[in-house]
Structure 1
Amino acid sequence: MSLLPTQLPSSTDQWRTVLRHRWPLRLMHWINLACMLAMIGSGLQILNAHPALYWGEASNFAAPLASATGVIRKGELRGITQVGGSTFDTTGLLGATNNPQGVRVRAVAPSWAMIPGARNLAAGRRWHLFFAWAWVLNGSAYLLWSLTTRHLQRDLAMQRRDWRNIPTSITDHLRFRHPQGEAAMRYNPLQKLAYLGVIFVLTPMIVLTGLSMSPQMDTVMGGFMELVGGRQSARTLHFIAMSLFVLFALVHLLMVVFAGPINEMRSMLSGRFRVRIEPTAERAEGDHE
């Protein structure tokens, strides 16, 4: 988010409209969303070919850390998810789900969630790699733009007051209480920490673990694979990092809904964001006149 001081025409005396997001940021935001949706769908397609996660070099593939499989119980196909030593019946969601014809089949996820379609590993890999590189290029452009325009330093960097306000920000989020007026145009401490974590922790982890799964990268990524414990460990970490990214996106979407979806969506489509003029600001302007 890049907040600009430009004030645009307002329809009432109680609200004013500001240009909240510049067009490069809005464009990169939507490119990022498209790439993420394609990578998640194609990633599920790849996972569907072998729906199990391991640690280390996995010399014993019979003991995965987690898996989602379809098993026959009492003559019926059931989805069973295993995590460690625990198992859960997840029929319809993981392990076994209905196909478009209504027939229950073995699958790690519903067919509508997998790109480009059910059980197409080769195409899923091509989609995943294409959109992964598009995502990396878009992310690199965002980082370069943020540094050039000082968006990163000005809007996302944690200040001393932000560290002090973390408890208050946590309380406000738990109460679904959102800032009004000028405060609505600034990132709160939890937002800053979340965005910084995505940019500098989750994203590098996704990229590094994704690259390390390629045998062609052994000579380059050998040290990293030794650090994480092997290629199967990298695959598991890749899945965990992407899951955390999805969780971040879901929380982000939830906050947009509670903060005012129309105003928030308009700010990301046109850049324009409406804020209520605070009474103290109105009195100050009147005294100045």
Structure 2
Amino acid sequence: MTTSRRRLVHRWPVRLTHWLNALAMPCMFMSGWAIYNASPLFPFTFPAWATLGGWLGGAIAWHLAVFWLLLANGLIYLLYGLFSGHFRRDFLPLSPRAIGRDFAAAVRLRLGHHLGTYNAVQRLLYWGVLVLGVLVVLSGLAIWKPVQLQGLAALLGGFDTARYVHFFAMAGIGAFVVVHLALVILVPRTLPPMITGRAHEEVNDESA
């Protein structure tokens, strides 16, 4: 007989850091777009309604305030991921063969999804966004304090190059967020476990 039980899918530190990111990232993007508009890197700007801060000084104040929140949140997640085994348990193993196999299945819309288990493409994306997170922090610090942190700025190719690194790293994170939201819309049953931590699972009761 098949019965249903509630299984732990996401532990509370993962859920807490996830929702803090979800609240803070829009502020980070919108204040960043306002800062970008003051000195555009490319021949376009973001519409005023999509920015935060009202003026350059206000945007910088918002950006720095949210930055410290995200930095603390990111450090908590990294430490938890390393010492709890979350990274090893959920993001590994990862191989080119597995990535190719799961990517091909995803393109054909035949990639299965099991709550609490990440496929190879998801694991690659999570590792990628972690790297982008580190890169966006380092480049942001180099832009903020190019004189005091001139060694870091030089490592990134100088102040001007660091701005491009920061822009493209943030764009990569933005793309990850868009894909993440699209997957939630396509597979809405993944959302409740990120709130409650648990999901219903069908199991065979052999004793019945």
Q: What TM-score does the superposition give when structure 1 sets the normalisation length?
A: 0.66
Choose the corresponding residue for 2:151, options 220, 223, 230: 223
Residue 275 of structure 1 deviates from its aligned partner by 3.9
SS at match of 2:6: strand
1:274 corresponds to: 200
Taking the aligned partners of 1:111 and 1:276, their CA distance within structure 2 comes to: 49
Q: String of CA shifts for 1:13-63, please: whole Å, max 9, x gaps.
A: 464431211122111101011221111000011111122x2xxxxxxxxxx
Cα 1:15–1:257, aligned 2, differ >3 Å: closer, same or farther?
A: farther
Choose the corresponding residue for 1:47, options 36, 56, 60: 36
Q: String of CA shifts for 1:213-235, please: whole Å, max 9, x gaps.
A: 124x524x323322332201101
Taking the aligned partners of 1:169 and 1:38, their CA distance within structure 2 comes to: 34
Preserved CA contact (<8 Å) 2:9 2:116: yes
1:146 corresponds to: 81
- Pair 1:130-2:65 in alignment: yes
Higher strand share: 1
Q: Which has the higher contact order (CA 8 A, sep 6+)?
A: 2
1:172 corresponds to: 105
Choose the corresponding residue for 2:51, options 104, 114, 134: 114
Gaps of 5+ in 1: 1-11, 54-65, 69-107
- Pair 1:193-2:121 in alignment: no
Residue 241 of structure 1 deviates from its aligned partner by 0.4
Choose the corresponding residue for 2:11, options 5, 22, 25: 22
Taking the aligned partners of 1:184 and 1:172, their CA distance within structure 2 comes to: 18
Taking the aligned partners of 1:144 and 1:26, their CA distance within structure 2 comes to: 15
Residue 124 of structure 1 deviates from its aligned partner by 0.4
SS at match of 1:17: strand
Residue 129 of structure 1 deviates from its aligned partner by 0.3
Residue 127 of structure 1 deviates from its aligned partner by 0.2
Taking the aligned partners of 1:153 and 1:32, their CA distance within structure 2 comes to: 22
Correspondences of 1:157-168 after superposition (within 5 Å): 157-159=92-94, 162-168=95-101
- What amino acid sits opposite 1:149 in the alignment? S
Taking the aligned partners of 2:126 and 2:179, their CA distance within structure 1 comes to: 12
1:248 corresponds to: 176
- What amino acid sits opposite 1:41 in the alignment? M
Q: String of CA shifts for 1:200-258, please: whole Å, max 9, x gaps.
A: x201110111011124x524x32332233220110111011000100011011112222
Taking the aligned partners of 2:164 and 2:28, their CA distance within structure 1 comes to: 16
Preserved CA contact (<8 Å) 1:48 1:109: yes
Residue 176 of structure 1 deviates from its aligned partner by 2.8
Q: Quote the sequence identity (%).
A: 36
Preserved CA contact (<8 Å) 2:139 2:156: no
1:204 corresponds to: 134
Preserved CA contact (<8 Å) 1:178 1:184: no
Q: What TM-score does the superposition give when structure 2 sets the normalisation length?
A: 0.90
Taking the aligned partners of 2:115 and 2:65, their CA distance within structure 1 comes to: 37
Taking the aligned partners of 2:85 and 2:43, their CA distance within structure 1 comes to: 44
SS at match of 1:176: coil
Taking the aligned partners of 1:173 and 1:116, their CA distance within structure 2 comes to: 40
1:37 corresponds to: 26
Residue 276 of structure 1 deviates from its aligned partner by 4.6
Total equivalences in the alignment:
208
Aligned-CA RMSD value = 2.1
Taking the aligned partners of 2:105 and 2:112, their CA distance within structure 1 comes to: 9
Taking the aligned partners of 1:155 and 1:264, their CA distance within structure 2 comes to: 16
